[in-house]
């Protein structure tokens, strides 16, 4: 009999993982008790994938340093127990040797599993596997009341289980998540399909989602890029174990540029499953161009270990601290820039309409497209009340990450406000990881309303945690 036993992992190693996790939880609880009763409870975390500013606090924060590991992988059951602050980079490194990955792996290596669940995440499997929180089986949460509770879909705390996604740490922080995994072969075969009209891209995307194929070939991964209204692409991925040459976009070649071509015949490419999962991280989609990294002369000298999103975050933090970008613009005689870094979702049938409006009104390109449908498509009600998507309905996430010149006399966040208004007109939502400008009533209508209020009363009765509006809009 194998020493790995039925779980596929040595019992001693599995117990060691849980013992280390328990020690991390003990440190977390001790740090919670050390926070003054009149101070808001926050994470003592130096890095973040949030783009909205956070108010500074001198109070001590929660010690999550012991919650960064994969606790256990069960390759037979295809599940993993994972600490809340574990990055997807570390999670994939632990599961991929078994030929397994999470059902949805967000694009950037430093996104944490807990962050993707409480703050939402998305990727090219979302058209078939939904969002990361939909593959969570159970979750341990430190509530605002200082209690660790286990929430499951049907248990005593089912209300918190379903209300936790999109709560952004205002109902509690995850300490452990048990998630589903899926088997993957070693390679992904890609087709880059070009479109000259946005309406054709929209209709083709809808057909692929309904049929799961394109031109007789299975589609396992689906996302897209819009360069202009006349040049857009769907990128179709198929899982395969067929050996053969693969491309490398971690060196001199830039992935998103490889998508472009002039032919109406799809362009083909191949990546290892590992490199496909992290294809966007090397150049932070296309945002590395702001640092000159896509210039071949600079790229050749830029250390390879620093071509990753975590390093670009450090450069962005310096810009925020010293306003480097605005100072450079001022030297050119240009006004300050308004940061427009957002992901929004609109129903798929409104995709072309929104993208055309955006291209006409907001001078930012390219745009990322990522379709999604909830996994539970037969539900009779919206199962995730703080981000209420309709079961059975297809949406498309549109991502745009840049800045635009401010216009004298316009209110703060003018471009972002216009985007919010247009998205609401099209029956959409936007993620809350960046700047938001909603009024309180509209925000409540979009993001949970009375349901959120009741959850807050039950799990944070003394208001130790900020509420969602204060955190997302007022940036407290």
Q: Is residue 469 part of a domain?
A: no
Q: Is residue 270 part of a domain?
A: no
- Angular region, 409: left φ>0, alpha ψ -120 to 50, beta rest: left
Q: Provide the domain limits for residue 331.
A: 323-437
Phi, psi dihedrals of residue 300, rounded to the nearest 5°: -65, -30
Quote the CA–CA distance of 395 and 373 in Å, as a whole number: 6
Domain closes at, from 155, 183, 211: 183
Q: Tell the burial category of 417 from Cβ atoms under 10 Å away from its Cβ (0-12, 13-18, 19+).
A: middle
Give the pLDDT of the chain (476 residues) as one tens digit per residue. 233 444 445 566 677 788 999 999 999 999 999 999 888 888 876 656 566 566 566 668 899 999 999 999 999 999 999 999 999 999 999 999 999 999 999 999 999 999 999 999 999 999 999 999 999 999 999 999 999 999 999 999 999 999 999 999 999 999 999 999 999 999 999 999 999 999 999 999 999 999 999 999 999 999 999 999 999 999 999 999 999 999 999 999 999 999 999 999 999 999 999 999 999 999 999 999 989 999 999 999 999 999 999 998 888 888 777 777 777 777 888 888 999 999 999 999 999 999 999 999 999 999 999 999 999 767 667 789 999 999 989 999 999 999 999 999 999 999 999 999 999 999 999 999 999 999 999 999 999 999 999 999 999 999 999 999 999 998 87
* Cβ neighbours of residue 419 closer than 8 Å, sequence gap 6 or more: 340, 342, 344, 358, 362, 430
Q: Is residue 33 part of a domain?
A: yes
The number of C-alpha atoms within 13 Å of 7 and in the hemisphere containing its C-beta is: 13
Domain closes at, from 183, 200, 223: 183
Q: Is residue 468 part of a domain?
A: no
Q: Is residue 27 part of a domain?
A: yes
Quote the CA–CA distance of 159 and 110 in Å, as a whole number: 29
- Cβ–Cβ contacts within 10 Å for residue 218, how many? 14
Q: What is the CATH number for 416?
A: 3.30.70
- Angular region, 430: left φ>0, alpha ψ -120 to 50, beta rest: beta
Per-residue CA distances from 453 to 143, 151, 271 (Å): 15, 18, 46
Domain closes at, from 135, 165, 183: 183
Q: In this structure, what token pair is assigned to residue 318?
A: 């310096």
- Cβ–Cβ contacts within 10 Å for residue 156, how many? 11
Q: What is the CATH number for 48?
A: 3.30.465.10
Q: Is residue 302 part of a domain?
A: no
Q: Is residue 45 part of a domain?
A: yes
Q: Is residue 147 part of a domain?
A: yes
The count of structural domains within the chain is 2
Q: In this structure, what token pair is assigned to residue 194?
A: 């070009």
The number of C-alpha atoms within 13 Å of 416 and in the hemisphere containing its C-beta is: 24
Closest among 132, 104, 357 to 226, alpha carbons compared: 357
């Amino acid at each position: 009999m194998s020493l790995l036993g039925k779980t596929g992992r040595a019992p001693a190693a599995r117990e060691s993982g849980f013992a280390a996790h328990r020690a991390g939880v003990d440190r977390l609880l001790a740090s919670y008790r050390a926070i003054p009763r009149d101070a808001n409870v926050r994470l003592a975390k130096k890095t973040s994938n949030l783009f909205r500013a956070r108010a500074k606090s001198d109070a001590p924060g929660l010690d999550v340093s012991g919650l960064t590991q994969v606790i256990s992988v069960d390759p037979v059951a295809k599940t993993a127990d994972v600490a809340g602050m574990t990055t997807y980079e570390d999670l994939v490194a632990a599961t991929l040797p078994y030929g397994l990955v999470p059902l949805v792996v967000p694009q950037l290596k430093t996104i944490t599993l807990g962050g993707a669940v409480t703050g939402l995440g998305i990727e090219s499997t979302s058209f078939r596997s939904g969002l990361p929180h939909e593959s969570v089986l159970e979750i341990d949460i430190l509530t605002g009341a200082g209690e660790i509770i286990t929430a499951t879909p049907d248990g005593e705390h089912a209300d918190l289980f379903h209300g936790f996604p999109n709560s952004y740490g205002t109902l509690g922080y995850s300490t452990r998540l048990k998630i589903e995994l899926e088997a993957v072969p070693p390679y992904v075969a890609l087709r880059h399909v070009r479109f000259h009209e946005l309406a054709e891209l929209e209709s083709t995307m809808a057909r692929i989602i309904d049929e799961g194929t394109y031109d007789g070939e299975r589609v396992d991964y689906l996302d897209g890029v819009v360069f202009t209204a006349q040049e857009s692409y769907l990128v179709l991925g198929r899982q395969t174990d067929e050996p053969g040459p693969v491309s490398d976009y971690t060196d001199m070649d830039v992935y998103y540029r490889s998508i472009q071509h002039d032919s109406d015949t799809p362009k083909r490419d191949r990546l290892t499953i590992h490199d496909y999962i992290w294809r966007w991280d090397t150049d932070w989609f296309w945002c590395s161009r702001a640092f000159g990294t896509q210039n071949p002369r600079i790229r050749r000298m830029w250390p390879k270990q620093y071509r990753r999103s975590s390093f670009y975050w450090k450069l962005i933090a310096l810009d925020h601290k010293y306003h480097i970008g605005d100072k450079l613009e001022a030297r050119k005689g240009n006004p300050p820039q308004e940061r427009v870094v957002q992901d929004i979702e609109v129903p798929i049938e409104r995709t072309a309409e929104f993208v055309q409006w955006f291209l006409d009104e907001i001078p930012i390109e390219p745009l990322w497209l990522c379709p999604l449908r909830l996994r539970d498509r037969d539900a009779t009600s919206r199962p995730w009340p703080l981000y209420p998507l309709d079961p059975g309905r297809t949406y498309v996430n549109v991502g745009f990450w840049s800045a635009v010149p401010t216009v004298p006399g316009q209110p703060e966040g003018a471009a972002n406000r216009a985007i919010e208004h247009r998205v609401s007109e099209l029956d959409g939502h936007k993620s809350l990881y960046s700047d938001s400008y909603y009024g309180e009533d509209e925000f409540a209508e979009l993001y949970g309303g009375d349901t959120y209020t009741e959850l807050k009363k039950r799990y944070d009765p003394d208001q130790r945690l900020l509420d969602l509006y204060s955190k997302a809009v007022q940036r407290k």
